[in-house]
Amino acid sequence: MWYQVNAPLRIEQMWCNFLPSWWNRNYGVAFGEHIIFDPDYRTEVSLFLARTLAQRFPELQIGSPDPKPQVTQPNLDNATTPALAGCEIHYPADNYPWNMHLPEERIAGLQLPSDLTQVFPYNEIISQVSYLNRKLELDATPWLPTRGVLNDAALLQGTSLFSDLLTNPQRAKHVLDYSHQLLMRLMRLNKEELGYRGMVMIANCTAIMISPEMYKDLLLPYDLLIQQQTAAYGQEFGLHHCGVLDAYTSAYRAIPHIHFLETGSESNIRAALEAFPESSVQYIFSAKHMLHSKPARIHDTMEQIMDAARGCERRFRISAPDIEYGTPDENLLEIFACCRQF
């Protein structure tokens, strides 16, 4: 789950989230199929998470000491598109759902259903939101998750996709086209039928597994079409690149307007802010660094980050994602303290 931390002074926002393993091993919260398919259980868990965070981290102003039930929808995370394609899905108690890849003989047969709202997992999302709206007397709008073209293709096919990009480009293009067509269909459904008007965020986690030149040739045309359709809908376009951004900057700069850009740790913050002056830039603080470091080292890293962002404070953010079990609380508090001092 994601929580906004209201950092005072110049930093507009800092974000953090705790992995299911953190909740499972610290508090015994079970995720698994239960939290996906039982909206009542998920509602109770959400209330517990909010209360617990407010009590454990009062300085961060996250969670709530007195939370009210809210409409939440099942989140299959990276397994969303694989679930649609019929991949075998696993639901661990201490992690997000994950999927097995499609066997080779089923890759060629990938085809989108005529009505996405009638098939799993999207029908489950819509049904559960409708149920919770009735139960809680609320009026939340379901949102069908949009992912990323290469991300989804890799989740469907596995590592053989990357060899196919070189040795069997026709098969690779079939999987990429499927993922792109799905994303465009979901955007249309969200906007035209479900009334979603928020940002369209594209996840390019796997871009670092191909060269910047290959990204320009193979993936950029898809992302340009997504951005163009987003602009036509009057929505904002966001791009998540959790690897080091530097080598991909010129390729991404071919996208005419990126409202929100998320960069991986060790990216050149100053270069990103200068290359994308129209963008809010969010820097991902390394979860590994948070897990294994002492607060003094966290402080030194934060000073370097803040120095690199000076002059652009109004459009710079810090993200502290994927907080693992065993991460010292004082490390997260140190990140927040540095934002506050900045």
Span 162-186, pLDDT tens digits: 999 999 999 999 999 999 999 999 9
Strands 2-5 and 14-18: antiparallel
Q: What is the DSSP letter of 103?
A: P
pLDDT above 50 (res 64): yes
pLDDT above 50 (res 4): no
Q: What pLDDT, on the 0 to 100 scale, is given for residue 340?
A: 85
Mean pLDDT of 313-342: 93
pLDDT single digits (tens) 117-144: 999 999 999 999 999 999 999 999 999 9
Percentage of residues in the chain having pLDDT higher than 90: 92
> Residue 177 half-sphere exposure, CB side, CA atoms within 13 Å?
11
Q: What count of other Cβ atoms lies within 10 Å of the Cβ of residue 260? A: 18
Calpha distance 117→161 (Å, rounded): 28
Better pLDDT: 16 or 179: 179
Structure-derived torsion over alpha carbons of residues 173, 176, 180, 182, reported in degrees to the nearest 10: 110
At 316, is the secondary structure helix, strand, or coil?
strand
Q: How confident is the model at residue 12 (pLDDT cuts 50, 70, 90)?
A: very low
Q: Which residues pair with 318 in a beta bridge?
A: 14, 283
**Cis ω on the peptide bond leading into residue 321 (within 30° of 0)?**
no
pLDDT above 70 (res 13): no
Helices (H), the chain: 20-27, 32-37, 39-56, 80-85, 104-107, 122-136, 149-157, 160-167, 169-188, 212-214, 220-232, 249-252, 269-275, 287-292, 295-309, 329-341
* DSSP one-letter string for 157-184: HTTHHHHHHHH-HHHHHHHHHHHHHHHH
Mean pLDDT of 4-10: 35
Q: What pLDDT, on the 0 to 100 scale, is given for residue 14?
A: 73
Q: Which residues pair with 98 in a beta bridge?
A: 90
pLDDT single digits (tens) 202-237: 999 999 999 999 999 999 999 999 999 999 999 999
pLDDT above 50 (res 65): yes
Strands 280-284 and 2-5: unpaired
pLDDT above 80 (res 8): no
pLDDT single digits (tens) 270-299: 999 999 999 999 999 999 999 999 999 999
Supply the mean pLDDT for the chain: 94
Q: Which tokens belong to 79?
A: 């397994």
In contact, 284 and 265? CB cutoff 8 Å: yes
Q: What pLDDT, on the 0 to 100 scale, is given for residue 5?
A: 39
Q: What pLDDT, on the 0 to 100 scale, is given for residue 201?
A: 97
* Lowest-pLDDT range of 193-197, 293-297, 336-340: 336-340
Q: What pLDDT, on the 0 to 100 scale, is given for residue 342?
A: 74
Token look-up 């390019």 returns: 204
pLDDT above 80 (res 86): yes
Instruction: Report phi then psi at 322, rounded to 5.
Output: 55, 50
Percentage of residues in the chain having pLDDT higher than 70: 96
At 39, is the secondary structure helix, strand, or coil?
helix
Q: What pLDDT, on the 0 to 100 scale, is given for residue 11?
A: 36
